[in-house]
Amino acid sequence: MTKTYRIAAIPADGIGIEVIAAGIEVLDALAAKTGTFAFRFDHFDWGSDYYKKHGVMMPADGREQIRNHDAIYFGAVGAPDVPDHITLWGLRLAICQPFDQYANVRPTRILPGITSPLRHVSGPELDWVIVRENSEGEYAGVGGRVHQGHPEEVATDVSMMTRTGVSRIMRYAFTLARSRPRKLLTVVTKSNAQRHAMVMWDEIAAEVAREFPDVTWDKMLVDAMTMRMVGKPESLDTIVATNLHADILSDLAAALAGSLGIAPTANINPERKFPSMFEPIHGSAFDITGKGIANPIATFWTACQMLEHLGEKPAADRLMRAVERVTADPSLHTPDLGGEATTRQVTDAVIAAIRGDNA
């Protein structure tokens, strides 16, 4: 019997609407090609437009509506006329944190046909996976403001790190590093300046490392890490960092690989108590919304991560081969990659590659 996966599709804002539509087309084509599984997409119109109508980014029972889905396929959140903290905390973080999607996984490599801005990098020198702690740290949401509007106004955002949270993300990162050929992990820190939580981060990393004697690991201060990523990309493989540090470093990684438009993300609940959520990194990009030129590659790569999480590794590999076949053709590069291709052309080309005999 063909297995049917229930996917909650939340395109949300901006180009998220365009690329999620493209991703659904590609996934349906892939399911038809394999013949061993199918998708049922349930569509949710949550986002900034929903907020303007209802005063909230999603309904009060929104999480209950999606908690029994097999996965969540998410577009992007953010609008020019709605404050960013409302859109982010009202939707994306309102799903990630309660669903305990504590492992944010962002693979980065240079796809065929794409040129890195690093002049000494041709491709194999840059092949990383960044593991971002996704539930606490700098985005814990602890803090507040007092005396607003007065000269003595005070605002605080408190970075909260727990032994449980740090231990589990370290263990996840070491396990992932062990599964990769180089078995190499870099732990990013800032314990020279942040002498409490980041020192605990370092200590727990050393403790967990003893469970993985086959994994080689080192430690880098986050500022030095930016230099290493640019100057010695071949020295890195798997990277683990806090919520804020990995958020910043993964954008740098995507830029070094060619474009934010190709970078995927998986928000994983490893224990599978809740559905995991898969989204492109690039954001809502309102400057190009509606122009038909958004790069859907990140959303397709994100779908590969979703398929792997669902246990459909051969299908994920088929889709990734189709993506690589398309990126290898410069005529199918969208403007963010220096080309003139449209979202429609790239989507059609990936579908054609999936249907091809050698995909």
Phi/psi at 266 (nearest 5 deg)?
-120, 125
50 is catalytic: no
Q: List the catalytic residue out of 5, 70, 127, 190.
A: 190
348 CB burial (10 A radius; 0-12, 13-18, 19+): middle
Instruction: In whole angstroms, give the CA distance from residue 320 to residue 154.
Output: 49
329 is catalytic: no
Contact 283, 92 (CB under 8 A): no
344 CB burial (10 A radius; 0-12, 13-18, 19+): middle
139 is catalytic: yes
Kindly list the strands in the beta sheet with 127-133, ordered across the sheet, starting from the edge strand earlier in the chain: 37-43, 3-12, 71-76, 276-280, 264-268, 103-109, 127-133, 238-241, 184-189, 216-221
247 is catalytic: yes
Q: List the catalytic residue out of 223, 232, 291, 313.
A: 223
**What torsion do the CA atoms of 200, 201, 202, 203 make, to the nearest 10 degrees?**
50
Instruction: In whole angstroms, give the CA distance from residue 328 to residue 89.
Output: 38
Residue with structure tokens 């109508």? 53
Q: List the catalytic residue out of 251, 317, 329, 348.
A: 251
61 is catalytic: no
Q: List the catalytic residue out of 13, 70, 247, 336.
A: 247
Q: List the catalytic residue out of 73, 102, 139, 172.
A: 139
Catalytic residues: 139, 190, 223, 247, 251
